[in-house]
Amino acid sequence: MNMPVETLTDPLAAHARAMLEHLGENPHRHGLADTPERFAAALRFLTSGYEAEPEDVVGSGIFDAEGEGVVLVRDIEFHSLCEHHVLPFFGKVHVAYLPGERIIGLSKIPRIVDLFARRFQVQERVTEQVADALVQTLEPKGVVVVSEAQHLCMAMRGVQEHGASTTVRATRGACGELLTMLQRS
pLDDT in tens, 134-154: 999 999 999 999 999 999 988
pLDDT in tens, 83-120: 999 999 999 999 999 999 999 999 999 999 999 999 99
- pTM for the model stands at 0.90
* Beta pairing class for 120-121 and 71-82: parallel
Does residue 162 register a pLDDT over 60? yes
Q: Name the residue with higher pLDDT: 160 or 18.
A: 18
Q: H or E element: which one contains 17?
A: helix 11-22
Q: Name the residue with higher pLDDT: 131 or 158.
A: 131
- Is 123 noted as a catalytic residue in this protein? yes
pLDDT in tens, 32-75: 999 999 999 999 999 999 999 999 999 999 999 998 889 999 99
- Is 151 noted as a catalytic residue in this protein? yes
**Options 15, 37, 153, 177, the catalytic residue:** 153
Which pLDDT score is estimated for 42?
A: 97
Integer CA distances (angstroms), 34 to 7, 8, 15, 24, 50, in order = 12, 10, 13, 17, 25
The backbone region for 149, taken as left when phi is positive above 0, alpha when psi lies in -120 to 50, beta otherwise, is: beta
**Options 37, 85, 148, 150, the catalytic residue:** 85
**Options 94, 121, 123, 129, the catalytic residue:** 123
Ranking 10-19, 67-76, 159-168 by mean pLDDT, the lowest is: 159-168
How far apart (Å, rounded) are the C-alpha atoms in residues 58 and 48? 16
